[in-house]
Structure 1
């Protein structure tokens, strides 16, 4: 999260829209927590320019779960 914060602060003057899509599972299909939602307060400075979404897929069946 620290690296993402540093990067967004560096890019903020030059980027008008940040898009972040976070998955609720790993590429092997194991469930994982949604980290950005836990650290949302840390990213208040970028909130006006942030489009955030979540997605998930059960890779064993290839069906979206969201």
Structure 2
């Protein structure tokens, strides 16, 4: 299964969600919630390939 990313919004805050498979489990990582401008800057960098650490591993939760 490929890794995929989502730009998410809730209550005026934005974050980026990454979904991937790790050791036969689905793992979801989320960036810190932030303003639209900061999230969009990170999202653009992620798409450009310049932001590889957008998501903090400690925010991971297995589903």
Give the TM-score taking structure 1 as reference length: 0.21
- Between Structure 1 and Structure 2, the one with more helix by share is 1
Name the structure, 1 or 2, with higher relative contact order (CA <8 Å, separation 6+). Answer: 1
- Between Structure 1 and Structure 2, the one with more strand by share is 2
Flag the structure with larger Rg: 1
